[in-house]
Chains A and B, each alone.
Chain A
Amino acid sequence: MKKDYVVMTISVIAIIIALFALFRAPTGVAPIEKSTFDNILEKDEIMVCYMTWPPSVIKDPNTGKLSGFMIDIFEEVAKDADLKVKYTESTWGGFPADLNTGKCDAAIAGIYPTIGRSTSVSFTKPFFYAGNSGVVKAGETRFKTIEDLNKNGVKIAVIQGEYGHIYSQKYLPKAQLVVLEKGSDNTAPLVAASSGQADAGLIMSDVVSEYVKLHPEVKDLFAEQPYSTTPIAWATRQNDQELLNFLNNGIDYLKSVGFLDATAKKHSPAGWYGLKQEYVVLS
């Protein structure tokens, strides 16, 4: 009995010390005199976290080589500034922590800036809009529009925190959600529909478009028109305004010379939309 008390006491003391260290320690990255962007220019290198999401970020399973239009666009920005890019793989749940703990300076993929995420990281201006779609069984006739999914007894598979999840919570309250963990497997909601675990699976249009080509047991419910679109941007640490300005200027420049559209077209992501530049006569 006495030993148990000693063990408990030591454990509690250890936990208290750990918590004390946690709250005493500076949060986020250690204070540095130079800005992140100064350090990048000094080293001629920018550290970038990526999340795989073909066709925007593709990691060749055999060689590990990166490709995809987000990689092409980021490389172009870095090339014009004579910067080398050092890539680190991250996860959808972990990229804000990777940024805030200094593992990388920027995060790239088809990142959807939400208000919640904006409280922990900063986003560049959106430079694409990604369509959202979903699959149902090929022979399914009950569903024609997104509203048709908002019925009692309808099971919808979504990935936690992804747009389909946020949308379903807000606009499809009657449906029963099957919320899947956000790993690297972007097909999870679709395979849930394929295997009969859910009536429908929602995810971005590019994933749905590729999936239905290989899986005739399901069909793209919104092949002609995504049920909604979401802005896509890159992320940086919250206080890195100089880096954010640099990336925003890079995006603007590449848009103005047609590089963004050309690169996206090369990879032809289904359901992705660029921003059209409109000109009007001033006088």
Chain B
Amino acid sequence: MVVYTWDFSVIFTYKEAILKGTLITLELTFFSIILGSILGMRLCLMKLSKNPILKYPAIAFIEVFQDLPLLILLIWLFYALPPLFGIHISAFLTALIGLSLNLGAFSAEIFRAGIISIPKGQRESSIALGLSKYQTMKDIILPQAKRVIIPPLTGRYIETIKLTSLASVIAVDELLHSGQNLISVSYRPLEVYTIIALLYLAIIVPLTLMLKKLEKSK
């Protein structure tokens, strides 16, 4: 039996650090979801377009950012952009861009699957009734496509929360990185990692339940 001396008092001493890390994780998640979803919808519409100038760049973009591991993407963006293009961006912004590109690529396919699941006849009927393409998409297609889109999309959003921990490799002060800094001062690794795990659960479990409820109501 392995004996480890547990002492959680350090967490109370450094509760501000844990809180700050949690807030940065939430902030990173929130903005990544907003930007990633907007990007995903744009990419989806570009991919569905018949115009090859829109369609093929979207296909290539989705393919590249779905295939690239996010960890590699974050490191590449953070270290390769300055020498290649002279762009210096903060670690937080790099993480936000990386997470949004990743979510955008995956959500584009989710949106597309939802939209093409609606029979073509409905679109043709709407156009025949005099609705514009925008009205058809907004009032006819998307409300029905939601049922197909929401379950996998919520899964991706929850995955995005978990992926924010990768931002620790470029020293973004999110939950994991704050925790690691706390460990280097407190020498209490297992206590800190336990609290980090519980905090991720505290964020994700209610969100999952809420999204499941939302799924059922649709």
Contact = CB atoms under 8 A, between A and B. Distances in A.
B2 interface: yes
Contacts of B7: 214
B169 A91 contact: yes
Contacts of B3: 217
Contacts of A6: 56, 59
A184 B181 contact: yes
19 contacts: A7-B63, A15-B64, A21-B84, A27-B83, A52-B184, A61-B16, A98-B79, A100-B83, A101-B82, A102-B82, A184-B180, A185-B180, A185-B184, A191-B190, A194-B2, A210-B187, A213-B187, A215-B5, A216-B5
Contacts of B17: 61-62
A211 B189 CA distance: 10
Interface residues of A, number: 54
A29 B83 contact: yes
Given A62-B17, A94-B79, A195-B2, A11 B63 contact: yes
A216 B80 CA distance: 45
Contacts of B5: 214-217
A60 B13 CA distance: 11
B199 to A, nearest CB: 15
Given A58-B185, A185-B189, A215-B4, 19 more contacts: A3-B59, A7-B60, A10-B59, A10-B60, A29-B83, A52-B184, A60-B185, A61-B178, A93-B169, A94-B169, A101-B79, A184-B171, A184-B181, A188-B189, A191-B190, A196-B2, A213-B187, A215-B5, A215-B187
Contact of B184 (A7, A29, A64, A186): A186
Contacts of B112: none
Interface of B: 2-5, 7, 14, 16-17, 20, 56-57, 59-60, 63-64, 75, 78-80, 82-84, 86, 88, 91, 168-171, 173, 177-178, 180-190
B143 to A, nearest CB: 29
B173 to A, nearest CB: 8
A103 interface: yes
